[in-house]
Copies of this chain bind each other. A is one copy, B any other.
Amino acid sequence: MPRAIFPAPDHDHERCTSDAIAYAEAQCAARAKRLTPMRRQVLEALLASHNPLGAYEIIERLADKNGRPAPITVYRALDFLRDNGLVHRIESRNAFVACGHNHGGDDLVVFLICERCGAVGEATDGAVAQALKASARAAGFSPKSPIIEIAGVCAHCGGR
């Protein structure tokens, strides 16, 4: 049974953001990890945009009177957030998105990337996962972590 989430352009973003932060805090607490200011800021920057951001875009958005964080700083925060399932990397874009956390840690996630608005939706689908596993096994291959990214046009941009 497919389950998909694509951010509607008119969704309650305030709410969606605070929910995600609350989830991140809970997740970190549960794992005895620390959601430090730096990490929180990076996550917030990603949440503020439902589009994937490149590392240097994040740096740009975190820049203020106190200067801007060094690339490595942002990358480390991103590593942490990814390790804890709060952020995904979009390989085909060299960019990152906050996770919609509509899926369990090891679920196969399908990223739907809109070519018009750039928004990224996440879908989880057991059927796809099964078919993929079967396909890999048939080649004598033991799959670890599948990456699935689909470019296309989302419903809000008139794709039909």
| Residues of chain A having any CB pair with chain B under 8 Å | 2, 4-6, 91-92, 110, 112, 114-115, 121, 123, 125, 127-128, 130-132, 134-136, 138-155, 159-160
Contact = CB atoms under 8 A, between A and B. Distances in A.
A152 B147 contact: no
Nearest to A159: B142
A93 to B, nearest CB: 9
B147 A132 contact: no
Nearest to A142: B159
Contact of A142 (B5, B130, B152): B152
Contacts of A153: 141-142, 144
Nearest to A147: B149
B132 A141 contact: no
A145 B143 CA distance: 22
A95 to B, nearest CB: 12
